[in-house]
Amino acid sequence: MIRGTTPTFQLKIDDQTVDLTEARNVYATFEQRGKKLTKTGEDIEVTAKQVDVYFSQAESLQFETGSIDIQLNWTYSNGARACTDIIRVTVGENLVPEVLE
């Protein structure tokens, strides 16, 4: 991800036993040095094996150059909860670090 852009994260589930369309709630959490951003509901698109997470320019600017951790969590209607392993991605700098119109 480059700061100040509008990236889409495509987070794929490799576990063949998981079907996210059966989940009641899905959460995508991004964390960097104690700062967290969790996206859910209309901020994400969920299919059986993938979650697409959309960032605004302002949201991508919340993170500093370096790395961020990402994890999916979800719940089922019976109260069960599951999550993915944490993955790490790199945040790159932008020479124009501001929201453009």
CATH number at residue 36: 2.60.40
Q: pTM, whole model, 2 decimals?
A: 0.93
CA 74 – CA 20 distance, rounded (Å): 8
Domain for residue 58, yes or no? yes
Domain for residue 100, yes or no? no
Domain span at residue 33 reads 8-91
Domain for residue 101, yes or no? no
The pLDDT of residue 101:
86
The pLDDT of residue 27:
98
Domain for residue 76, yes or no? yes
Closest to 3 in 3D by CA, of 46, 56, 49: 56
Write down the residue that tokens 């589930």 correspond to.
Answer: 13
Total domains present in the chain: 1
The per-residue pLDDT string of the chain (101 residues; one tens digit each, 9 = 90 and over) reads: 999 999 999 999 999 999 999 999 999 999 999 999 999 999 999 999 999 999 999 999 999 999 999 999 999 999 999 999 999 999 999 999 899 98
